[in-house]
Amino acid sequence: MERNGFSFEQALDLLHQKKYAALRSLLSDAEPADIAEFYEQVSGNQYAIVFRILPKELAAEVFVELDSDLQQILIESFSDSELKEVLAELYMDDTVDLIEEMPANVVKRILANSTGETRKTVNELLKYPDDSAGGIMTTEMVRFKQNMTVEEAFELLRRVAIDKETIYTCYVTDVNSHLIGIVTVLTLLLASKDALIGDIMEENAICVSTLDDKEFVAAQISKYDVLALPVVDAEHRLVGIVTVDDAIDVMQDEAEEDFAKMNAMLPTEKPYLKTAPFELWKSRIPWLLLLMVSATFTGMIISSFEEALATQVILTAFIPMLMDTGGNSGGQASVTIIRAISLGEIRFGDWFRIVWKETRVALLCGGTLAAVCFVKLFVVDKWLMGKEITFLIALVICLTLCVTVLCAKVIGCTLPLLAKKMGFDPAVMASPFITTIVDAVSLLVYFQLAKYFLHL
Amino acid sequence: MERNGFSFEQALDLLHQKKYAALRSLLSDAEPADIAEFYEQVSGNQYAIVFRILPKELAAEVFVELDSDLQQILIESFSDSELKEVLAELYMDDTVDLIEEMPANVVKRILANSTGETRKTVNELLKYPDDSAGGIMTTEMVRFKQNMTVEEAFELLRRVAIDKETIYTCYVTDVNSHLIGIVTVLTLLLASKDALIGDIMEENAICVSTLDDKEFVAAQISKYDVLALPVVDAEHRLVGIVTVDDAIDVMQDEAEEDFAKMNAMLPTEKPYLKTAPFELWKSRIPWLLLLMVSATFTGMIISSFEEALATQVILTAFIPMLMDTGGNSGGQASVTIIRAISLGEIRFGDWFRIVWKETRVALLCGGTLAAVCFVKLFVVDKWLMGKEITFLIALVICLTLCVTVLCAKVIGCTLPLLAKKMGFDPAVMASPFITTIVDAVSLLVYFQLAKYFLHL
């Protein structure tokens, strides 16, 4: 915990010794994110003390970085005037996040201690869906008029800078608030003092609409390498901006959600160590139950071949290998396709190209696996372990491998695309789900081939 | 392809009709990232034409966004003076990326057409490991001296701005190039003209070291919400910066790599549709082979119980369900832990807390699954399907479920931590690998319990 940041031990020592002046000066030089981490080590009755010794502005910045349960504890310990001070320092998107996470009675207190202006904006912002551009944007941006000079623009900047989430990209609007251009501070610096904003602004600026998906917004910020994107309403009026740091959070949340869904879990919001076992259970049990019950089909397939199996018990030993290889092959294809859909690299129209590609990959993989398996069956299983492997048994096993891998890859790439087409989340069509289907397919193929070649 | 961006169809029409002036004006207003996407639709013999009609600076920006195979084709079509022009516009980190991806003869030409200064810097940068801060940083940042006034600083900014990757954060160094502070343009704007940089700069700025892992650097940028981080050498001399757009790329690459590794693939660099089947085969076959061969153990376990199984064939039908549930349970735990390690949320020292948490989750999950399974066995399997399910068989199956889920969760959380501790990549300890181990465990448990309760 050294490097960037400060020594938590030293800070805790100062706190226990009640050397508050020294603690204040130590924390004043620290980054909000580090102080928030330090908070987790402080015991409950000292939260308010540590918070009160921070300079006002820093206190608000730290507040934003805290977990929502800590935020709630703090708010409940605040006097009304303290709460007002913190709220005044928050950006609008942070205020909205706070309100969305607090219980009703705390929300009531927050709104009662906000200015009328803030209440109005918060109510506007709360109308947008959580996962839309409107739901994550903030309203603190710098607006210029076309007929301002660069000098006037700089004056305005200096006056309002402190309350804006970013000043490095400024937005030019007409009298009806329509977005007509953007100007960066770099452009301002390079222009002459009396140039008009309308002449130096970039027209046709990239923008997103309030109802665009937040993941699309983040992808646009990443694609165009911008520090912020303006958000416009249906009439192209500028209503907010999304900044790059919020885009990073969206991308990270999205990746974590995909990791969870692809592995048969419902996403949880908190860090692992803070999630209670019961919450983990809630996120994991639904898919486990569903997948367990759907495995009934594989059981039925095996049951219907019970008699045949009894005559060639050796076949049973290869069931796990065939199922696992099928599951892994299908998982590879589905995860690749799900991520490519997520990143906007492919769409449903590419289905034929994708299936053709996966078919060739499957033939290459299946062929390699079958060849290696064939050799392994005779060298390891027959020669070393003395099992009764005949040529026909080896043929059935290796053919099953090939067909299973082919089916697994085609199913693995088709299901996510189909899900997307039908408006579902492709991520839930991932390995665990594919595994269950591929299990059934591989068993059917195995037993049919065994029936045919071994005359069971 | 509308929205942000321009109509690719219109641009292709203009190109085919050789209306180059109109095409030039259409492209001049477009974003580099969109033009690069448009490039993919252009046929090979027209690459150079489309590139030459772009304004010089825009051409270089588009060049950076292109795939490396397109870059190579273009460079090979460039005259030396054209190459010089493009190289002069590139930032140092982009030049290094280019050199790392081009074949030797192209690299020779690139170096021959670079200035001596660039060659020297590139050689310095190439010495850092690819995955270190030094390997991804660029050297184009603004440096101030402590005794400059704000006015002088603005003058310097205006003069050098055009060649710098970012101007919004500037770095203050002493005569020996040691980093002693940072100043943002916001601070400059709010300060009086004759204030000294040394007085307004932020000391103790967050920085990273050249050899820090690039994923650590990206995490720091995200944690502290900064637009750029300074990179210092062992003597705390400022040698470069990493900007937020590069951090986003690092985070995305990292997530994609984790997705690939966790699903038994070696990461590929290109987008899916551009990756040849043979390359996909290369990325997928190693793990498939390894996992197939290691499934020999499950085969051995089943073989050693062949005789016992022959007397109670009904037990075979539940093998897939038990294996899949174990695999899914273990996968849930391993993926959760791998991501938490990746995000820096947990470390090896937390092992005991994690195992204790997973144990409780496993008991909850195992208990639920066993209860549902018990009911299902009697209602679906016995009553509806007429299978011969006795109480003892149901007991064996449900107990196996509980023990398997417990083992799967504990193995699933322990192996990634162990891998991390031993310096391996935790991501390869993911579901497919865990599945193979859990398969063996679940079969052993199943057969031992069956032996005990059913006296096989």
Which of A1, A2, A4, A337 to substitute to test the interface with B, most B CBs within 10 Å? A4
Give the span between the Cα atoms of B140 and B138, in whole angstroms. 6
**Residue B434, pLDDT score:** 87
Decide: helix, strand or coil at residue A312. coil
> Rounded to whole angstroms, what are the CA distances from B442 to A225, A265, A299, A434, B316?
50, 21, 16, 21, 13
Question: Which residues of B are less than 8 Å from A203 in CB distance?
Answer: 29
Note whether B154 contacts A336, CB cutoff 8 Å.
no
Strand ranges for A206-365 from DSSP E: 208-209, 228-232, 238-243
Note whether A300 contacts B317, CB cutoff 8 Å.
yes
Note whether A263 contacts B436, CB cutoff 8 Å.
no
CA distance B118 to chain A (A): 24
CA distance B228 to chain A (A): 11
Nearest CA in chain B to A371: B289
Tens digit of each residue's pLDDT (9 = 90 or more) over B20-68:
999 998 888 888 989 988 888 887 778 888 888 888 888 888 998 998 8
Note whether A443 contacts B335, CB cutoff 8 Å.
no
Q: What are phi and psi of B329, to 5 degrees?
A: -60, -45
Bridge-partner residues for A173, per DSSP?
A: A179
Question: Which residues of A are less than 8 Å from B186 in CB distance?
Answer: 161, 167
Give the span between the Cα atoms of A178 and A172, in whole angstroms. 8
Tell me how crowded residue B124 is: count the other CB atoms within 10 A of its CB.
Answer: 15
> Rounded to whole angstroms, what are the CA distances from B177 to B120, B127, B134, B149, B240?
18, 20, 17, 19, 11
Nearest to B365 among A227, A262, A284 (CB): A284
Strand ranges for B142-267 from DSSP E: 143-144, 169-173, 179-184, 208-209, 228-232, 238-243
> Rounded to whole angstroms, what are the CA distances from A111 to A85, A99, A100?
13, 9, 12
DSSP string across A368-399:
HHHHHHHHHIIIIIIIIT-----HHHHHHHHH
Provide the percentage of residues in chain B whose pLDDT is more than 90. Answer: 47
**Residue B68, pLDDT score:** 86
Note whether A225 contacts B33, CB cutoff 8 Å.
yes
Confidence of residue B346 (pLDDT cuts 50, 70, 90): confident
Average pLDDT, chain B: 89
Question: Which residues of B are less than 8 Å from A207 in CB distance?
Answer: 4
pLDDT of residue B130 exceeding 90 = no
Tens digit of each residue's pLDDT (9 = 90 or more) over B221-275:
999 999 999 999 999 999 999 999 999 999 998 888 888 888 888 888 788 888 8
Torsion (CA) A68, A69, A71, A75 in degrees, nearest 10 = 130
CA distance B105 to chain A (A): 31
Question: Which residues of A are less than 8 Å from B244 in CB distance?
Answer: 227, 244-245, 248
**Residue A227, pLDDT score:** 93
pLDDT of residue B455 exceeding 50 = yes
* Cβ-Cβ contacts under 8 Å for A275 (sequence gap 6 or more): A268
Question: Which residues of B are less than 8 Å from A319 in CB distance?
Answer: 302, 319-320
DSSP string across B339-404:
HHHHTTS--GGGHHHHHHHHHHHHHHHHHHHHHHHHHHIIIIIIIIT-----HHHHHHHHHHHHHH
Which of A40, A67, A167, A223 to substitute to test the interface with B, most B CBs within 10 Å? A223
CA neighbor of B62 nearest in space, from B84, B101, B30, B93: B30
Q: What are phi and psi of B323, to 5 degrees?
A: -65, -45
CB A23 within 8 A of CB A15: yes
> Rounded to whole angstroms, what are the CA distances from A453 to A24, A37, A103, A392, A447?
81, 65, 67, 7, 10
Note whether B185 contacts A206, CB cutoff 8 Å.
no
Rg (CA), chain A: 30
Who has greater pLDDT, B370 or A342?
A: B370
Which of B187, B259, B287 to substitute to test the interface with A, most A CBs within 10 Å? B259
CB A283 within 8 A of CB A265: yes
CA neighbor of B36 nearest in space, from B78, B75, B84, B71: B71
CB B436 within 8 A of CB B291: yes
Give the span between the Cα atoms of A329 and A333, in whole angstroms. 7
Label residue A321 exposed, middle or buried (CB < 10 Å: 0-12, 13-18, 19+). Answer: buried
CA distance A105 to chain B (A): 31
CA distance A31 to chain B (A): 7
Note whether B321 contacts A357, CB cutoff 8 Å.
no
Who has greater pLDDT, B89 or B363?
A: B363
DSSP string across A20-88:
HHHHHHHHHTS-HHHHHHHHTTS-GGGHHHHHHTS-HHHHHHHHHHS-HHHHHHHHHH--HHHHHHHHH
> Rounded to whole angstroms, what are the CA distances from A439 to A307, A330, B378, B436, B449?
20, 10, 23, 15, 25
Question: Which residues of A are less than 8 Å from B385 in CB distance?
Answer: 300, 303
Nearest to B161 among A154, A189, A263 (CB): A189
Give the span between the Cα atoms of B450 and A372, in whole angstroms. 34
**Positive or negative, the Cα torsion across B234, B235, B236, B239?**
negative
CA distance B216 to chain A (A): 12
Nearest to B318 among A204, A299, A435 (CB): A299
> What are the residue ranges of helices labelled H in A66-165?
68-77, 80-89, 92-101, 104-112, 116-126, 133-136, 150-160
Decide: helix, strand or coil at residue B239. strand
Give the span between the Cα atoms of A287 and A342, in whole angstroms. 22
CA neighbor of B28 nearest in space, from B2, B58, B63: B58
Nearest CA in chain A to B202: A29
Note whether B320 contacts A185, CB cutoff 8 Å.
no
Bridge-partner residues for B231, per DSSP?
A: B208, B240
* Cβ-Cβ contacts under 8 Å for A356 (sequence gap 6 or more): none
Q: What is the DSSP letter of A343?
A: T
Give the span between the Cα atoms of A307 and A305, in whole angstroms. 6
Decide: helix, strand or coil at residue A184. strand
* Cβ-Cβ contacts under 8 Å for B290 (sequence gap 6 or more): none
CA neighbor of B54 nearest in space, from B87, B81, B21: B21
Q: What is the DSSP letter of A201?
A: S
Give the span between the Cα atoms of B72 and B66, in whole angstroms. 10
Tell me how crowded residue A281 is: count the other CB atoms within 10 A of its CB.
Answer: 18
Note whether A319 contacts B317, CB cutoff 8 Å.
no
Nearest CA in chain B to A192: B158
Q: Per residue of chain A (456 residues), what is the pLDDT tens digit?
A: 345 678 888 888 998 898 999 999 888 888 898 998 888 888 777 888 888 888 888 888 899 899 888 899 899 888 898 899 888 888 888 999 899 889 999 999 999 999 888 898 988 899 999 899 999 999 999 999 999 999 999 999 999 988 888 899 999 999 999 999 999 999 999 999 999 999 999 988 899 999 999 999 999 999 999 999 999 999 999 999 999 999 999 999 888 888 888 888 888 878 888 888 999 999 999 989 988 888 888 888 888 888 888 788 788 889 989 999 999 999 999 999 998 888 888 888 889 999 999 999 999 999 999 999 999 999 988 888 888 889 999 999 999 999 999 999 999 999 999 988 888 888 877 778 888 899 999 999 999 999 999 887
Question: Which residues of B are less than 8 Å from A365 in CB distance?
Answer: 281, 284-285, 288
Tally DSSP H helices, then E strands, for chain B. Answer: 23, 6
* Cβ-Cβ contacts under 8 Å for A373 (sequence gap 6 or more): A397, A398, A401, B292
Note whether A189 contacts B167, CB cutoff 8 Å.
yes
Question: Which residues of B are less than 8 Å from A306 in CB distance?
Answer: 313-314, 316-317
pLDDT of residue B1 exceeding 50 = no
Nearest to B313 among A251, A310, A314 (CB): A310
Q: How many CB pairs under 8 A join A and B?
A: 335
CA neighbor of A263 nearest in space, from B226, B381, B109, B427: B427
Tens digit of each residue's pLDDT (9 = 90 or more) over B390-446:
999 999 999 999 999 999 999 999 999 998 888 888 887 777 888 889 999 999 999
Decide: helix, strand or coil at residue A14. helix
Q: How far apart are the first and last CA of chain A?
A: 67
Which of A302, A321, A437, A439 to substitute to test the interface with B, most B CBs within 10 Å? A321
pLDDT of residue B385 exceeding 90 = no
Rg (CA), chain B: 30
Question: Which amino acid, one-letter code, is at A190?
Answer: L
Give the span between the Cα atoms of A354 and A361, in whole angstroms. 10
Bridge-partner residues for B138, per DSSP?
A: B241
Give the span between the Cα atoms of B272 and A438, in whole angstroms. 23
* Cβ-Cβ contacts under 8 Å for B101 (sequence gap 6 or more): B68, B71
Give the span between the Cα atoms of B364 and B358, in whole angstroms. 10
**Residue B4, pLDDT score:** 64
Give the span between the Cα atoms of A368 and A402, in whole angstroms. 9
Beta strands across the sheet bearing A228-232: A208-209, A228-232, A238-243
Structure tokens at B342: 């990746």
Give the span between the Cα atoms of A50 and A35, in whole angstroms. 10
